[in-house]
Structure 1
Amino acid sequence: MNTRSLILALTMAAAPAMADDRALLIGIDDYSRLDNAPSLNGAVGDTQRMAEALTSALGFQPETIVTLTDSAATYDAVLTGVIDRLVGETAPGDRVVFYFAGHGTTLADGTPALLAHDADSVLGKIPVTVLSDMFDLIADREVTVILDTGFDGGPIGARGVADAVASAAPQFGGQTALWTATSPGQFAWEDVDRGAFTDAFTDVLITGEDDATELTNADLLRAVSTRLAAWCDTSPGCAASGRGFQPQFSGDGTRVVRVFDTVDDPEPQLDPLVADDGAPASYKETLGFVTDLFAPSNDARLTLAINGGDSLRVGNTVSFTATSERPGTLLLLDVAPTGDLAQVYPSALVAEGGTQLSPGQPLTIPNALGANGRPLRIRVTEPVGQGLLLGLFIEGDLPRLTGLMPAGISGGPVPNAGQSLFEISQRLLALEADPDTPIAWSATYLPYRIQR
Structure 2
Amino acid sequence: MPKPRLRALLTRFGSACLAVVAGFIPLSAAWADRALVIGVDSYREGSLSPDFKGAARADALRMRGLLTGALGYGPDDVRLLLDGQASRAAIVDGLQGWLSQAGPGERVFFYFAGEGHFIGDGPNREDTILPVDATIERRDGAVTVGNSLGESRIDALLGRLQGRHVTEVIDSSHSGAVTRSIVVEAAGGNPAARSPQLEARTRSIVVEPQLGQEGGHGLPPGLDLVKWEAVSPSQVALIDEDAAPGYRGVFTTAFADGIEKGLADANRNGVISNQELLDYVRGRSSAYCAGHADRCPMGLTPILSGAGAALDVAASATGAAGPLNQGRPSAEKILDILGARLADDIRLEQLPASPVRLGTRDMHFRVTSSQDGFLVLLSVSDDGEVVQLFPNAIAAAHGKDGRILAGRPITVPDSSYGIRFDATSVTKGTVLALVAIDPLKLPQGFVTRRIDVIPQDEVNSTVLPELAQSLAAPAHADGVEANAKAVGRSVATLRYEIVP
| TM-score computed with the length of structure 1 as normaliser | 0.50
Give, in angstroms, the shift of residue 204 of structure 1. 0.2
Q: Does the alignment pair 1:29 with 2:41?
A: yes
Aligned to 1:113: 128
Give, in angstroms, the shift of residue 94 of structure 1. 0.7
Cα distance in 2, alignment partners of residues 196 and 106 from structure 1: 21
Give, in angstroms, the shift of residue 219 of structure 1. 1.0
Structure 1, gaps ≥5 residues long: 1-17, 263-452
Give, in angstroms, the shift of residue 38 of structure 1. 2.2
CA contact (8 A) 1:40 1:102 kept: no
Give, in angstroms, the shift of residue 63 of structure 1. 1.0
CA contact (8 A) 1:58 1:258 kept: no
Q: 1:243 to 1:257 in 2, by over 3 A?
A: farther
Give, in angstroms, the shift of residue 62 of structure 1. 1.1
Superposed, which structure 2 residues align to 1:333-372 within 5 Å?
Answer: none
Q: Does the alignment pair 1:244 with 2:281?
A: no
Cα distance in 1, alignment partners of residues 48 and 255 from structure 2: 28
Question: 1 or 2 for the larger relative contact order (CA 8 Å, sep ≥6)?
Answer: 2
Cα distance in 1, alignment partners of residues 134 and 51 from structure 2: 13
Q: 1:121 to 1:230 in 2, by over 3 A?
A: closer
Cα distance in 2, alignment partners of residues 157 and 76 from structure 1: 27
**Pick from 217, 235, 259: which aligns with 1:205?**
259
Give, in angstroms, the shift of residue 261 of structure 1. 7.6
Q: Does the alignment pair 1:46 with 2:88?
A: no
The one-letter code matched in structure 2 to 1:72 is: Q
Give, in angstroms, the shift of residue 235 of structure 1. 2.4
Cα distance in 1, alignment partners of residues 192 and 238 from structure 2: 6
Spell out, residue by residue over 1:68-119, the C-alpha distance to the aligned partner (whole angstroms, 9 max, x if none). Answer: 01011000000001111101x1111110000000000011352111000000
Q: Does the alignment pair 1:179 with 2:228?
A: yes
Spell out, residue by residue over 1:24-68, the C-alpha distance to the aligned partner (whole angstroms, 9 max, x if none). Answer: 001000024142552423001101111111122111111100110
Aligned to 2:240: 191
Aligned to 1:142: 165
- Secondary structure at the aligned position of 1:159 is classed as coil
The one-letter code matched in structure 2 to 1:218 is: Q
Give, in angstroms, the shift of residue 258 of structure 1. 5.0
Q: Does the alignment pair 1:220 with 2:268?
A: no
Q: 1:84 to 1:36 in 2, by over 3 A?
A: closer
Cα distance in 2, alignment partners of residues 216 and 243 from structure 1: 27
Cα distance in 1, alignment partners of residues 74 and 111 from structure 2: 16
**Pick from 158, 168, 180: which aligns with 2:193?**
158
Q: 1:156 to 1:261 in 2, by over 3 A?
A: farther
CA contact (8 A) 2:175 2:195 kept: yes
CA contact (8 A) 2:112 2:171 kept: yes
Cα distance in 2, alignment partners of residues 19 and 199 from structure 1: 28
Superposed, which structure 2 residues align to 1:25-104 within 5 Å?
Answer: 25-41=37-53, 42-87=55-100, 89-104=101-116
CA contact (8 A) 2:41 2:49 kept: no
CA contact (8 A) 2:162 2:224 kept: yes
Spell out, residue by residue over 1:237-280, the C-alpha distance to the aligned partner (whole angstroms, 9 max, x if none). Answer: 33xx4311110001221111453589xxxxxxxxxxxxxxxxxx
Q: 1:95 to 1:243 in 2, by over 3 A?
A: same
Q: 1:186 to 1:20 in 2, by over 3 A?
A: same
Q: 1:19 to 1:59 in 2, by over 3 A?
A: closer
Q: Does the alignment pair 1:229 with 2:266?
A: no
Cα distance in 2, alignment partners of residues 229 and 175 from structure 1: 29
Spell out, residue by residue over 1:317-365, the C-alpha distance to the aligned partner (whole angstroms, 9 max, x if none). Answer: xxxxxxxxxxxxxxxxxxxxxxxxxxxxxxxxxxxxxxxxxxxxxxxxx
Aligned to 2:311: 254
Aligned to 1:276: none
Structure of greater Rg: 1
The one-letter code matched in structure 2 to 1:110 is: R
Q: Does the alignment pair 1:125 with 2:169?
A: no
Cα distance in 2, alignment partners of residues 76 and 232 from structure 1: 36
The one-letter code matched in structure 2 to 1:107 is: I
| TM-score computed with the length of structure 2 as normaliser | 0.46
- Secondary structure at the aligned position of 1:246 is classed as coil
Q: 1:143 to 1:235 in 2, by over 3 A?
A: same
Give, in angstroms, the shift of residue 153 of structure 1. 3.4
Give, in angstroms, the shift of residue 145 of structure 1. 0.5
Identity %: 30
CA contact (8 A) 2:128 2:151 kept: yes
Larger mean CA deviation between 55-64 and 249-258 belongs to: 249-258
Cα distance in 1, alignment partners of residues 72 and 149 from structure 2: 29
Cα distance in 1, alignment partners of residues 43 and 51 from structure 2: 5
Cα distance in 2, alignment partners of residues 134 and 254 from structure 1: 25
Aligned to 2:16: none
- Secondary structure at the aligned position of 1:35 is classed as helix
CA contact (8 A) 2:240 2:248 kept: yes
Cα distance in 1, alignment partners of residues 37 and 269 from structure 2: 28
Aligned to 1:167: 209
Cα distance in 1, alignment partners of residues 60 and 149 from structure 2: 19
Cα distance in 2, alignment partners of residues 76 and 260 from structure 1: 41
**Aligned pairs, number:** 242
CA contact (8 A) 1:216 1:258 kept: no
CA contact (8 A) 1:153 1:159 kept: no
- Secondary structure at the aligned position of 2:43 is classed as coil
The one-letter code matched in structure 2 to 1:91 is: G
Structure 2, gaps ≥5 residues long: 1-29, 138-145, 178-189, 242-246, 320-500
The one-letter code matched in structure 2 to 1:106 is: F
- Secondary structure at the aligned position of 2:272 is classed as strand
Cα distance in 2, alignment partners of residues 84 and 39 from structure 1: 32
